[in-house]
Each structure stands twice: as structure tokens, then as C-alpha cells.
Structure 1
Amino acid sequence: MKRVVVGLSGGVDSSVAAYLLKEQGYEVIGLFMKNWHDDSVTISNECPWLDDSNDAMLVADKLGIPFQTVDLSEQYKARIVDYMFNEYQKGRTPNPDVLCNREIKFDVFMDIALSLGADYVATGHYCRKGTLHKNGEEIYQLLAGVDGNKDQSYFLCQLSQAQLSKALFPIGELTKPEVREIASKLDLVTAEKKDSQGLCFIGKVKLPDFLQQQLKPKEGVIVEVSDDEPIYKVENHNFNSKEEELSFLSRKLNYTIQNGKVVGKHQGAHYFTKGQRKGLAVGGTPEPLFVIDTNVEDNIIYTGQGKNHPGLLKKALFITNDELHWIREDLALKVNQTMEVYARIRYRQPLQKATLHKVATGLYIEFETLQSAITEGQFAAWYINDELIGSGVIS
């Protein structure tokens, strides 16, 4: 019997994952990760991790598997929370969920599981793992979940071959309704539990509130930039190379107050992200205002009217070599090589047709159509068919 440690989060997905593994004949151990216990930043009087931990314990009890809690709050603060604040202060928008999987669940947590003699670590992610043989080597594939509506492969886009080799995703072949049905039949306490909307594993924490407690409010101005501003006028360029063209298509526009007019005030540019519409509190425009850029140094938010504003749209993005990650190392591009893929720049975005261009300093992704709100600090991930083969941080 192979031993599997399941990250029991107190939600329905991991509960059913544990049940399925037991049915398949594995020796299953449930482990709950306590990643946070600074009660000053939870936004309700409830203690969410305690509720979740109790639910996880009840599920383990019902399934007849051993259960324990591990405290990873120190590592979580160092690797996720501090990184997040650092990124927000730089005016980038990090993705804590992707990082949590790479740094906590499939690193710190995995080390603990292996020290308990586990052969594998399992989670309740909606994705699948494939295996293929190439040149005498075993290669692991990260495949999209069968439930297109819930596919979570994007959140695992930073995993390595070593991490994937030890990972199991028992519910990847199921849809969410099927998972809930199994939980109901087993009469599990988590069967009807709503999906958590908080930060990865912290529980009921709203990100803006969390940020406000750490990054101090600072009043600044909101500037509206017209869509016919000269900064958007593009002369007919004659590019000397494809790389020069890609560099131009992915460039960051540098706005100044002179590019628009002041239409309101805000409490800190670092609370806002590109493409954001809520929270600006500026009315009276024919079309809603969207954030097109933030300048954290001068504490200015630049906005434009409507979701087709040219300040929101771009055809290409760039990833530096040190932020570039291939799950399929055997498919990694060499300089001057290109590859046709499908890519996404955020979770749940429908896959977009794109071409990868490898250059000496990194990788360009050129999309077939204009993309809205390409945001620095977020992850771009690319697929061939339903296999996620690589990802990187948008620079």
C-alpha cells in the first residue's frame, strides 16, 4: 500500500479527494495546514481556520483516516505574505495562490509529508497528471481538469517535474457537481460548504482590507486619460527585427498628469490594479472608468473610459529569463525559436491563440488578438491542447 498525505483544507474538494484515494487502496493521512493566525487581519469575529480545521477533522474521522494539523504560518508569512506586500509596494499585482502552491503546498508541506513516509501528496485541485516516456525518461504532464468551468491547472503553473512526480489530483476527472454528490452520499460535513474566497488558506480575509492594514493609506489623485491622447498614436514603424517589434508591442506606456485631467482622489495607488473598475468612486462619465495604470512612486492612478480604452489593450507581453518556468523542460525553447500555443494571463480567462518567441533576455508572448489589462506581477501560462507546459511572471 502506497502512503498518501492529503492536504485536507476543510473544503469539499479535498474531502472527496481523500475518500477517492482510500477507495483506490492507498493508505491515506489527512493533514491540515494552518497558515495564518494573526487575528488582527481576519475581518470577522469568526476564526476561519479553526472552523476549517474542525471540518477537516470531522471528515478524517468519518473516513477513518489519521489526521493532524501542521503550523506553517512562519513559512507562509515569509514566502507568501511578505512577497505580496513587496510586490504591491512596487506597483505589481502578485498571485498568492500560484505562489502558495509552489512554495507551501508542494514544497514545505510536501517535505513534511515525505518525512512522514509518504509516497505522494494529494490535493483537491481540478486538474490531472499525465505520464509519458521520452528518451528513456519518465516525464510528467500537468493537464487541465475535465470540468472546464473549474479547471485549476493555472494555479499549479509553477510546479516542477520533481514536484509533479510526487503529486496526485484525485478529483481531476470529475466535475464540481459530481464531487458534491459524492460528499452528500457520504454525508460529509463539507458537502454543501461554499468554496473559500479568501487568500489561499488564510480564510475569510478580503485582500484590500488585508493590504490596508499593512500598507498605509496615502491620498493621491485619479487622472482620466482620453482615448485620443497622442500617447496612443502609433506612426507607421519600420522595425529592423521581429524582436524590435515585440519590444514595441509589449512596451509600458509612461503616463504623466499632463496626459489627462484629475477627476478624483484615492487612498493609495498600491491598492489598485490594472483593469480594476470598482472602488474608484468617480461618477458622471458616459462609460465606466477602468484603471489603465498605477504609479506607486508618484501615487497616481491613471484611468480610461470603457473596456476598449487603448490604455487597457496590448498584443504582447514579456517574461525575463529569471521569471521563466517550463514544466515541460524537454519542450523549452532555445533563442530564436518560436512555438504556437494557447495562453492565458489570468485564472478563468478563456485560452487565447498566441506565439512564443524566445530571445536572449527572455520570452515574448505575442497574441493573435488584443488582450485586456495585461498586468505586471501576474502569471502567464501556456498550453498545448489541454497540457500546461510553461509559465512566467509578466514583467
Structure 2
Amino acid sequence: MEKRIVVGMSGGVDSSMTLLLLKQSGWQPLGVTLMLEKWGEGCRENACCTAESLRVAKSVCEKLGVKHFVVDAKADFKREVMDYFIDELSRARTPNPCITCNRRLKFAKLFEWAQANGIDYVATGHYAKTAKRADGKTVLVPPKDRVKDQTYGLCLLPQEWLARCVFPLGGYTKEEVYATAKREGFEFFLKTKQSQDLCFVESAAVPAFLEEKLGRRGGEIVDANGKVLGRHDGLHFFTIGQRRGLGIEGENYVVGFDAEKNRLIVSKDRKDLLKRTVLVTGFNYSTGEQPTEPMKVTAQVRYRQEPTAAIMHPAVGGVVKAVFKEPAESVTQGQVCACYGDGGACIGGGFIESAR
């Protein structure tokens, strides 16, 4: 008997080929598209919140003879992702909406729908793998395509979900996924731009979005000694490590925020971006097991960063401390720190509270 599985369908090549591969390997997939809130009318053509992406998801399901369902998640998406995004920026923190969406919205809604329909498994088009340990625990491990590795974005998923997640693309490279699409008659995906940045607002419209939601909150741009170098329109327009668009003379990097005084702190020395110790809150242990002794790990503090050697210390008062062997650059409050153990297995992750 075929096992039923819910496939999150965004209308992109990855989720579409996930559906195809599952059907070809004997599963009985059901496509589910989440309708998400967006801001403005300019969302790019392949964002997962557009009418076009819904049309593509539906047509792929029809072509493969798979039932397609639509779940209205707009209100939940606005509350759990968009409002979170604005709230973090208002506190001079740099949010991570994609990882937060995976934990609070996307997988939560897919598993909720699956449970309501008597289905145990959920699949998505993420480039990741799961492996079963001898003790029965499920661990998140790196995919074949290390360049596309998305385990960082999944580090907040709890064990109860990981045990029922299927990631077919974990055994493929992006090029192989495109080759599969072409071979199976989905050539149009080869001409579709891949999604980048925020799904709920067009990249060019982000400044307008931020101005509408948070306004302009002008303040001083200062160096580490407090010398005033210029003015800014709002801390929410900047992020740690940014060096373009500062509006001051010379090449400077954003190295910090003084939220209390509404000051943007910059430096000409890139070394001022380096931090060795990171304090992490809300840490999710992927296997449900909390270490009781310091352990050697590799840690990642932003997308596209190669995990680097660190010591992860047991939580004290709900705060996990990671100490890097070599200082890490642009560690940002509000972003996610993910830790990995033997073989690249994801231990879990949490939100960066501070770094020094």
C-alpha cells in the first residue's frame, strides 16, 4: 500500500521535483500550497505568495495526477513572520524571517494539515537529509549539494517533526534537479528566476516597506569613541557588516547599534566585526537531548557561511554559549546560530542574543 505524504508546494522547481520524485518512488503525495500574506503589488514572479506561484503548483499537480489543496495561512503568516520581522527591527535586531517561518509557520501548518487528514509524513524541497541513529533519534545531516545546503534553515525544527520529514532533494545537486525537470517535461522551470531575499516584499520595495511600518527615526552615526560622523534615518535600515549606503566619507562598516541612544556605530577597521563568543537563547535541540558537558562543534551564524570550529557550552539559565576557535565575522543579534556535531549532524540552533 502506498504511503501518503504531504508535499509543501511553493510553485518552484524544488518543491515540484520533490513531488515528482516521491510519486516515482512509490509514495502517494498530496500537494499543499500555503497562501501567504504579502506587502504591495510588486512581489517577484516566483515568490511563494503570488497568484502565479499558486497557478504553477496547481498545474504541476494536475500534470502528475496528484491532488492539490490550498491552505489560507495569511493571517498566521502576518502574525508569526511579518510582525516578528518588524518587531525585531524596531528593537535594533536583525531578524531571520525564513528560519522563523520554517519553525512557526510553514512546517507547523503542513503538519497540522497532515494530522487533520490522517497523514504521518511531510516533504519539502529543501536541500537536506535526515538519518536515523541507532537509538531511534532522527538527525538532520548535510545534503549531496553542499553549496545548496539548507540544514541551517531547518535547525529550529523539533525532533517530533524531523522524524516525519522527508527531503528527497538531499540526494541531488541543483543541476541534477534542473536536469530532472527538463527530462520530465518541465522545461519552463529552467527559465524561471530562483527566489532570493524576502518572499513577502519585492527587494526594491524593502525601504518603502520599512518606512511605512517603522517610519524614519533619525539619529547619529558615530565611531567607537562616540565621535559623530553623520546622521542616519533609522537603525532598521542597516545591518551588521554593511558598508554601502552609509552616507559618510570613507569606507566604513556597521559594527553595532546603540538602541538606547539611537546611534549607528561604524568602524573603518574590518577587524571590529570579529567576535569570538556568542550567547544564544531559545536553543532548539534537534534530538531533544541537551549536552551536560562542553563539546566540540562547528557553528554557523549566517546563511552561506561555512560552519567553523567552536566549543558549545551547556545552557545556563536558558542561554547557550558558543566560543569560536577563530573569531567569526558579522555576528548579528537576532540572527540564528546553528551548531553541528560529528559528520555534520545538526545539534540544533537558537537566536543570537549578544556577541563579544
- TM-based fold match above 0.5: yes
Amino acid at match of 2:152: Y
Match of 2:245 in 1: 279
For residues 60-110 of structure 1, what are the alpha-carbon distances to aligned partners after superposition, in whole Å with 9 as ceiling and x for unaligned?
122221112211010111111111111111111111111111111211222
Is residue 185 of structure 2 the alignment partner of residue 224 of structure 1?
no
For residues 272-331 of structure 1, what are the alpha-carbon distances to aligned partners after superposition, in whole Å with 9 as ceiling and x for unaligned?
121112221223x2xx211011123322111001422x2x111111124xx12210223x
* 1:44 Cα deviation from its structure 2 partner: 7.0
- Residue 333 of structure 1, aligned match among 275, 280, 291: 291
Structure 1 window deviating more from structure 2 (108-117 vs 71-80): it is 108-117
Match of 1:196 in 2: 195
Amino acid at match of 1:28: P
The change in CA–CA distance for 1:198 and 1:58 in structure 2 (over 3 A counts) is: farther
> What SS does the corresponding residue of 2:170 show, helix, strand or coil?
coil
- Residue 153 of structure 1, aligned match among 139, 151, 154: 151
Match of 2:326 in 1: 369
CA distance in 1, matches of 2:160, 2:228: 51
Is residue 348 of structure 2 the alignment partner of residue 390 of structure 1?
yes
Tell me if the contact between 1:95 and 1:378 (Cα under 8 Å) persists in the aligned partners: yes
> What SS does the corresponding residue of 1:281 show, helix, strand or coil?
coil
Is residue 276 of structure 2 the alignment partner of residue 315 of structure 1?
yes
Match of 1:95 in 2: 96
> What SS does the corresponding residue of 2:50 show, helix, strand or coil?
helix
CA distance in 2, matches of 1:8, 1:179: 16
CA distance in 2, matches of 1:300, 1:218: 10
Amino acid at match of 2:118: G
TM-score by length of 1: 0.83
Amino acid at match of 2:144: V
CA distance in 2, matches of 1:356, 1:98: 21
Amino acid at match of 2:129: R
* Structure with the greater alpha carbon radius of gyration: 1
Structure 2 unmatched ranges of 5 or more: none
CA distance in 2, matches of 1:209, 1:120: 40
TM-score by length of 2: 0.92
Is residue 262 of structure 2 the alignment partner of residue 299 of structure 1?
yes
Is residue 250 of structure 2 the alignment partner of residue 261 of structure 1?
no
Tell me if the contact between 2:219 and 2:233 (Cα under 8 Å) persists in the aligned partners: yes
> What SS does the corresponding residue of 1:5 show, helix, strand or coil?
strand
> What SS does the corresponding residue of 1:264 show, helix, strand or coil?
strand
Percent identity, aligned pairs only?
34
CA distance in 1, matches of 2:75, 2:194: 25
The change in CA–CA distance for 1:305 and 1:121 in structure 2 (over 3 A counts) is: same
Match of 1:243 in 2: none
CA distance in 2, matches of 1:217, 1:296: 14
Match of 1:348 in 2: 304
CA distance in 2, matches of 1:44, 1:166: 32
* 1:5 Cα deviation from its structure 2 partner: 1.2
CA distance in 2, matches of 1:46, 1:181: 19
Amino acid at match of 2:179: E
Match of 1:213 in 2: 212
Amino acid at match of 2:166: L
Structure 1 window deviating more from structure 2 (295-304 vs 148-157): it is 295-304
CA distance in 1, matches of 2:152, 2:45: 33
The change in CA–CA distance for 1:355 and 1:45 in structure 2 (over 3 A counts) is: closer
Taking the TM superposition and a 5 Å limit, the aligned residue runs for 1:140-179 are: 140-179=138-177
Amino acid at match of 2:36: N
What is the number of residues matched between the two proteins?
Answer: 347
Structure 1 unmatched ranges of 5 or more: 226-258
CA distance in 1, matches of 2:190, 2:18: 13
Amino acid at match of 2:299: A
The change in CA–CA distance for 1:347 and 1:37 in structure 2 (over 3 A counts) is: closer
CA distance in 1, matches of 2:38, 2:222: 39
